[in-house]
Amino acid sequence: MTVIVRDLRPDAPADLEGFARVRRLALPFILFTPESIAHTLTRMHPDARYRPLVAVADGEVIGTAQVHLAHESPEPGQGNINVYVHPEHTGRGAGTLLVRTAEEYLAAHGAVRLHSWVLDAPGNRAFAERHGYRSSRSAHFLRLDLAGGPLPPLQDPPPGVELRRGSDYAADPRPLFDLDAETVADEPSDVGAELTDYEAWLEETWRHPLLNRELTSVAVVEGRPAAFTLAYTDGGTRYSTGMTGTARAFRGRGLAKLAKNDSLHRARAAGVTEAFTGNDTGNGPMIAINKWFGYEVCATEVRYVRELD
């Protein structure tokens, strides 16, 4: 049975659904829909050189790769490859073909260092190491049972603090962009990011089809967004945190907890039954916050790096 690798076609529903299906099976802790995949393909900044790939056998999508440059990094030449194969179709060469195609593409566009997230399982890690990648840091996926588990009780905001929704900024989301840019700059990562392009942020984040502005919560101090949690939902019963953070001047006051608790309570009231998030294993403050909410680790992934000659 021949496996071929080609570009994902944004105008082909079967491609989008196949890509989403493989990702949901391989990564059930992340929200994927055909609409979100099409959005990323058509809205990511041109400097990212984003190229999603599919591995196809007998007309069925059995493998996927997200391939792009880390264009927001102040250090040029950083590339990203994330490859996932349908669990029932491993061992057929799809992963190797995807990696080879992705590496050649990124090298042709100036990448000198490649980064990849790999689920922490012996077969996956051995695959990465056979292809010349070495492990670096790690991160956890966490799950919260909103249907059956308790949440910390809701608390009134402290004096001078107000809770708002993301939808309150529909007319002018610039203050949320500023807050997001500040928190992203301080997020633990092996590839730093600087959010400086407001229009790109509007396209990629604010207009993302899974972003739920009603469930996004913002803690406001004297009219300024001081902390927030971005909420994503799949249109059903699953919820994911995109980013939770606090502006530097307001840290240590529990505002991120306040915003996230508000969002989770409203999500449960809206019928959400599962909440997911992710934390770098070295991000102690956010791990502590998520344990306080009742999140439990459900999987771990390892960051792998390859230097190109």
pLDDT tens-digit profile, the chain (309 residues): 799 999 999 999 999 999 999 999 999 999 999 999 999 999 999 999 999 999 999 999 999 999 999 988 888 999 999 999 999 999 999 999 999 999 999 999 999 999 999 999 889 999 999 999 999 899 999 999 999 989 999 989 999 999 999 999 999 999 999 999 999 877 766 665 677 899 999 999 999 999 999 999 999 999 999 999 999 999 999 999 988 999 999 999 999 999 999 999 999 999 999 999 999 998 887 788 899 999 999 999 999 999 997
Return the residue matching tokens 């491609």: 15
HSE-up (13 A, CA, CB side) for residue 191: 20
β-partners of residue 139 are: 280, 301
Query: Based on C-alpha coordinates, what's the Rg of the chain?
Result: 20
- Predicted local confidence at residue 289, as pLDDT: 85
Phi/psi class of residue 247: alpha, beta or left (left: φ > 0; alpha: ψ in -120 to 50)?
Answer: beta
β-partners of residue 9 are: none
Q: Nearest-CA neighbor of 76 among 41, 106, 101?
A: 106
> Could you tell me where the DSSP H helices lie in 110-215?
122-130, 174-185, 198-201
Q: Nearest-CA neighbor of 167 among 218, 119, 234?
A: 218
Domains and CATH numbers, the chain: 3-111 (3.40.630.30), 144-299 (3.40.630.30)
